[in-house]
Amino acid sequence: MLIKLKHSLLFLLAAVLSQACQQEDVDAKLVLPTDLQVTVLQGERGNVTVNFSAQNANFFRVSFGVDNQFPELVQGNQATFSYRQAGTFTITVQAHATENDFIKEEVQVSISEAAFGLAIPQNGYLSPESYEGYRLVWRDEFEGNALSSDWVFDLGDGCPTLCGWGNNELQWYRRENVRVENGHLIIQARQENAGGRNYTSSRIKTQGRQSFQFGRVDIRAALPKGQGIWPALWMLGDNIDQVGWPRCGEIDIMEMVGGPGTARNNTVHGTVHWDNNGSHAEFGGSVTLREGIFNDNFHVFSIIWDEQKIVWLMDDEPYHEIDITPSALSELRGSFFFLFNIAVGGNWPGNPDNTTIFPQQMVVDYVRVFQKE
């Protein structure tokens, strides 16, 4: 019995030693990749190309540092990606021997706003600072580094009463998307999460600070572009908190609903909204550039507004007019305040798609109000 027990122990020991030797052979055969080399080439409009190589690598995985992305399997030694917003991102490249055995390299890449065509235009129409028969009663040239006290913010998504601001818009309005620099007001729409929304932007207004009844308004601005992008320079009646919309009246000096490519990015609209016996009524017109889009250069969007009519102009050329003398349009003869904003998505422009590049921005050079002497 004792001899048999010894033989069993010896057999068991031999088996353990054999298994250990086999594992050592496997470990000896497994060679981790070495000498991982990564280079990043930046192209236009947020495009990057990542090239990589490593000794003893069987395959590679790459992530581009957006949306908590895990490294994904790629073919060959190159991967490309298009960033849709500015920022600093960490690109991770993994060189694998097996699924669980790899080395990695991280490289940071900075995508500038200039990559998205966000440089402020240097050219465009410039309106005069005076008109015969008018006097300048208010202006904002956006000097300094902050908004003046003439402006306040609308914040959030318009809930609970007007979720999506009444138009099923997708953005969350906040202060951080506005800045004033080098004599310009800049409002940006960005693809980022805030308030349960996937986009952010800003909406500023002069409600309670500056309002006007009649006159000529000139606003010099360069517009954003892209499917689902909806910039607006507009006015609402001072009595909106008492009577609501549309009974307060609305005057849209400029609206643009961006589209893919050049579509719709070359056309702006001028519209009024009012209450017609308890129903919403509206009347609008539009003008299209002969060439280019409104993102290319500055243009001046104007109205000439008196007790009789409202005339819309682009670069001092009239393109639309409405008679406001009928009693049903009396709200358009009241006192109004300004609103400037970029909406994202909504009933009119539709939602952004894979052609939409973020961020987008509207640059306002000045707003001036003239009234008859």
C-alpha dist (Å) from residue 223 to 173, 232, 251: 18, 9, 19
Is the per-residue pLDDT at 15 higher than 50?
yes
Over residues 61-77, the pLDDT tens digits come to: 999 998 778 999 999 99
Q: Which has more pLDDT, 8 or 164?
A: 164
Q: What is the pLDDT of residue 38?
A: 97
pLDDT of residue 3: 47
Confidence of residue 5 (pLDDT cuts 50, 70, 90): very low
User: Does residue 277 sit in helix, strand or coil?
Assistant: coil
Q: How far apart are CA 75 and CA 58, in angstroms?
A: 11
Distance in angstroms (rounded) separating the CA atoms of residues 352 and 243: 33
- Dist. CA 369–CA 134, nearest whole Å: 10
Phi-psi region of 308 (alpha: psi -120 to 50; beta: other; left: phi over 0): alpha
Residue 297 pLDDT greater than 80, yes or no = yes
Q: Is the pLDDT of residue 211 over 70?
A: yes
CA distances from 140 to 147, 287, 331, 340 (A): 9, 26, 26, 13
pLDDT > 80? residue 255? yes
Q: Which residues are catalytic?
A: 250, 255
The DSSP letter of residue 121 is P
Q: Is the pLDDT of residue 10 over 60?
A: no
Angle subtended at Cα 208 by Cα 203 and Cα 212, rounded to the nearest 5 degrees: 95
Per residue in 95-109, pLDDT (tens digit) is: 999 999 999 999 999
pLDDT 10s digits, 81-92: 988 778 899 999
**pTM of the complete model:** 0.78
Q: Is 104 in a helix, a strand, or coil? A: strand
